[in-house]
Structure 1
Amino acid sequence: MHTTQRPAAPAGSPILEMARRAAEYRAAGHRVIDLTLGEPDFAPPAHVVAAAQRAATRPLGYTPANGIPELRRAVRQALERDRGLRRTDAEVTVGCGAKQVIFNALLATLRPGDEVIIPAPYWASYPDMVRLCGGTPVHVPCTAGSGFTLSPDALAAAMTDRTRWVVLNAPGNPSGATYSHDALTGLAGVLRQHPSVMILSDEIYAHIRFGAGEYVSIAQVAPDLSERILLVDGVSKAYAMTGWRVGWGIGPADLVQRITSVQSQNCTQTATVSQIAAVAALEGPQDFLTERCETYRRRRDAALAILKQSRHLDVQEPDGAFYLFPRLATDDDPAVADILLEAGCATVPGSAFGAPGHLRLSCATDIATLKEGCRIIVATLDGISAWSR
């Protein structure tokens, strides 16, 4: 690792900041619909909770930094079941959520001046993590017209001799965008021309999709690039286990070893009880995933039906995840988010995701609350007569 001075810490997550403000409004006695956090409102599966309860009654010591063997095996089996990919035990590492795995990977590989290509809109934490690890985020705008996805031409134009990573997140947060087999094939063609560039494929929302067919990962489309791909996943979203903090990375053994070395020094390991619970999640029944995905679809459709009534919003139907990302009639999305909070609905400005002029709404709440929040948004925006499209 390079011993350079790290940049100053960022201001903090804008998503959590809006959630904090919404909580303050509620504490002051105001009625606020909170559509900020990407946190499922489901309980973890009952068999997962039971496994954790049993584990908690016996002595639990330290585990290997890269996760208990049972969890690494469960991850490999789930990868084969869900993606048709086979990996060895040495190619799996476990962290305190997918977020920490990504951070550890960047910390283990970035040198000052290294660039990380991040398609925008992006998850708000990517750029800050890159900066904290000494790298430079390179944002590549992806418009609604392109389905909020990175094109081969845009990727090729962003590549330099300093590019170290390319980030792909699908279904995407905040857009819900996914990549087709053909789209990934085109990106793989560009990546083959840059053999020193790694690919970070964040697939945390892979089980929350609304289109037909199986999920497609770049690791499936381009097996010849497997030595350069870090596939990241976890139990937070699909299994409604955000607070359990279990995620994993699957990639080349040398990279996994470097990630594990960082993990061993920054927090030793992921909580043992949480790892045992994650084993139960991956090895237990999976049919509830389809049921919950259908619930998210119903919520999405109900919210879309309301939001599309506003003349001040342009709303695309997301392919996955549990967010809506409508386009406003103004680029001053922070001001709009403030107005909506005052009106009783908390959202996150699109600027936090590299897409000014948008808002992110989480559909991870019950449908009645979601619909109420969307009605507040429409009524408030339509009451601003100065706007016009």
Structure 2
Amino acid sequence: MLAERIKTIPPSPTLTINAKAKTMRASGIDVFSLAAGELDFDTPQYIKEAAIQAVKDGFTKYTPVDGILELKEAVCKFIETEYKLNYSPQETIICCGGKHALYNLFQVILNPGDEVIIPAPYWVSYPPMVMLAGGKPIIVDTEEKDGFKLRPEVLKKHLGPWTKAIILNSPSNPTGSVYTKKELEALAEILVDKPIWIISDDVYHKILLKENIKWTSIATLSPELKKKTLIVNAVSKTYSMTGWRIGFLIGPQDIIKATTRLQSQSTSNPSSIAQKAALAALNGPQEFILQWIKALKERVKYLSSFLKTIPGVTCFEPEAAFYAFPNFSSYFSPKIPNSLKLAEYLLEEAKVAVVPGIAFGKEGFIRLSFATSLEVIEESLNRIKTAMEKLR
């Protein structure tokens, strides 16, 4: 007999679709994928060398549960540089990826029935993680015309006595939208005096694709907001280290202590070798990131222009990260009634893997990742356009 808690938790749609695409490809079918949430660039060589050196040095034993001090200090320096905020190593924990940091966090702050406000579209794992901690996801819809960003008046309507936290993911997966400082200030005005944690998921914060876009953390707006903001970040996306599984949580010391206690009874420390690689990533050369962003800008420019050639499709132009979230609802019919059926149709008919919008809490849309080569993007979009023409 399975535990009741797991019966309500769906598998990750992104991983499921990726797995199906890989199975089709392994059987000889020519499948392209715009579903992956990881860059196609390889982990930089200096980071790999740091991991190899760690193995050679015998750095293969347990480390402190919350991570090695050198890495925690590097994270604090990273936050100081990127956020202009000062934290101590005691306010930092190293986890097995950003997802693990979030999972730990929900486990230590939520009691049964506590509500977490989650603007939709959202990253697919937010609601299940809240539910596994006994909490209740409060899904708040946002609109394409607003850049998929939460408006203050909408936030007010969803606050209640059971509200324990709100998640802000900027830059956003799946939309690529970024909250401006002014927009964050409007939300902060409502949240600052309330006993509500602000969870700031910032894993894409360095991948900005427009010159006029400036990223701001809500924690930087005032000392009061810093005290109630819990920052989640990672080396996964910025340094193309998704498989290394190193993320971090930064916040008040009592939260970090509780998270460390939980981690000590679950995973223990993150991989010692991966910690050394992450240390090298944060302390080493950073110039390559600009080259990666340059390539991503070329890709998103092509993708955005191409989508405009598909009749009936609209798309908020991504400002950051490496996803687009176009609206294909004009193609819905009895044959293709929703985004899940559309994703299945595109995989079978066009041999292109995409992620249905419903996985992110937003029907009518699909997520397209441009974290792959321009050649793959071009071929995939041509296949999608041809497949959509057959539905007209």
TM-score by length of 2: 0.95
The match for 1:300 is 300
The match for 1:228 is 228
**Would the aligned equivalents of 2:179 and 2:215 in 1 still touch at CA under 8 Å?**
no
Match of residue 382, structure 1, among 365, 372, 389: 389
**Take 1:53 and 1:259, find their aligned partners in 2: how far apart are those partners?**
29
Provide, for residues 68-109 of structure 1, a one-character-per-residue CA deviation record: whole Å limited to 9, x for no partner.
000000001011111111111111111000100000000111
Give, in angstroms, the shift of residue 5 of structure 1. 7.3
Q: Is residue 37 from structure 1 mapped to residue 43 from structure 2 by the alignment?
A: no
Q: Is residue 332 from structure 1 mapped to residue 338 from structure 2 by the alignment?
A: yes
**Take 1:147 and 1:305, find their aligned partners in 2: how far apart are those partners?**
18
Residue pairs, 1:23-172, within 5 angstroms: 23-60=22-59, 61-172=61-172
**Take 1:5 and 1:220, find their aligned partners in 2: how far apart are those partners?**
40
**Take 1:6 and 1:306, find their aligned partners in 2: how far apart are those partners?**
43
Provide, for residues 94-149 of structure 1, a one-character-per-residue CA deviation record: whole Å limited to 9, x for no partner.
10001000000001111110001000000000001111111100000011011101
Give, in angstroms, the shift of residue 254 of structure 1. 0.6
SS of 2:94's equivalent? Answer: strand
SS of 2:10's equivalent? Answer: coil
The match for 2:368 is 361
Identity of aligned residues (%): 38
1:344 is aligned with what amino acid?
K
The match for 1:291 is 291
Of stretches 17-26 and 272-281 in structure 1, the one that deviates more from structure 2 is: 17-26
The match for 2:311 is 311
Q: Which runs of 5+ in 2 are unaligned?
A: none
**Take 2:223 and 2:352, find their aligned partners in 1: how far apart are those partners?**
45
Describe the shift of the 1:59–1:22 C-alpha distance in structure 2 as closer, same or farther (beyond 3 A).
Answer: same
**Take 1:275 and 1:63, find their aligned partners in 2: how far apart are those partners?**
9
Structure 1 runs of 4+ off > 3 angstroms? Answer: 4-9
2:341 is aligned with what amino acid?
A
Give, in angstroms, the shift of residue 376 of structure 1. 0.9
Give, in angstroms, the shift of residue 312 of structure 1. 2.9
SS of 1:148's equivalent? Answer: coil
SS of 2:290's equivalent? Answer: helix
2:370 is aligned with what amino acid?
C
**Take 1:6 and 1:314, find their aligned partners in 2: how far apart are those partners?**
38
SS of 1:370's equivalent? Answer: helix
1:137 is aligned with what amino acid?
P
Of stretches 332-341 and 166-175 in structure 1, the one that deviates more from structure 2 is: 332-341
1:307 is aligned with what amino acid?
L
**Would the aligned equivalents of 2:178 and 2:215 in 1 still touch at CA under 8 Å?**
no
Give, in angstroms, the shift of residue 223 of structure 1. 2.9
**Take 1:134 and 1:140, find their aligned partners in 2: how far apart are those partners?**
19
Q: Is residue 344 from structure 1 mapped to residue 355 from structure 2 by the alignment?
A: no
**Would the aligned equivalents of 1:306 and 1:378 in 2 still touch at CA under 8 Å?**
no
**Take 2:208 and 2:89, find their aligned partners in 1: how far apart are those partners?**
28
The match for 1:267 is 267
**Take 1:300 and 1:49, find their aligned partners in 2: how far apart are those partners?**
28
Q: Which runs of 5+ in 1 are unaligned?
A: none
Describe the shift of the 1:213–1:177 C-alpha distance in structure 2 as closer, same or farther (beyond 3 A).
Answer: closer
Give, in angstroms, the shift of residue 277 of structure 1. 0.5
The match for 1:16 is 15
SS of 1:313's equivalent? Answer: coil
SS of 1:266's equivalent? Answer: coil
SS of 1:327's equivalent? Answer: coil
SS of 1:314's equivalent? Answer: coil
Give, in angstroms, the shift of residue 151 of structure 1. 1.1
**Take 1:184 and 1:112, find their aligned partners in 2: how far apart are those partners?**
29
2:249 is aligned with what amino acid?
G
2:21 is aligned with what amino acid?
A
**Take 1:229 and 1:8, find their aligned partners in 2: how far apart are those partners?**
31
The size of the alignment, in residue pairs, is: 381
Residue pairs, 1:160-309, within 5 angstroms: 160-194=160-194, 196-211=195-210, 212=212, 214-309=214-309
**Take 1:338 and 1:63, find their aligned partners in 2: how far apart are those partners?**
44
2:72 is aligned with what amino acid?
R
Give, in angstroms, the shift of residue 321 of structure 1. 0.6
Give, in angstroms, the shift of residue 193 of structure 1. 3.5
Q: Is residue 372 from structure 1 mapped to residue 375 from structure 2 by the alignment?
A: no
SS of 1:230's equivalent? Answer: strand
**Take 2:322 and 2:139, find their aligned partners in 1: how far apart are those partners?**
23
**Take 1:62 and 1:27, find their aligned partners in 2: how far apart are those partners?**
37
Give, in angstroms, the shift of residue 213 of structure 1. 5.4
1:298 is aligned with what amino acid?
E
**Take 1:67 and 1:214, find their aligned partners in 2: how far apart are those partners?**
31
SS of 1:164's equivalent? Answer: strand
Describe the shift of the 1:377–1:324 C-alpha distance in structure 2 as closer, same or farther (beyond 3 A).
Answer: same
**Take 2:64 and 2:216, find their aligned partners in 1: how far apart are those partners?**
31
**Take 1:316 and 1:268, find their aligned partners in 2: how far apart are those partners?**
41
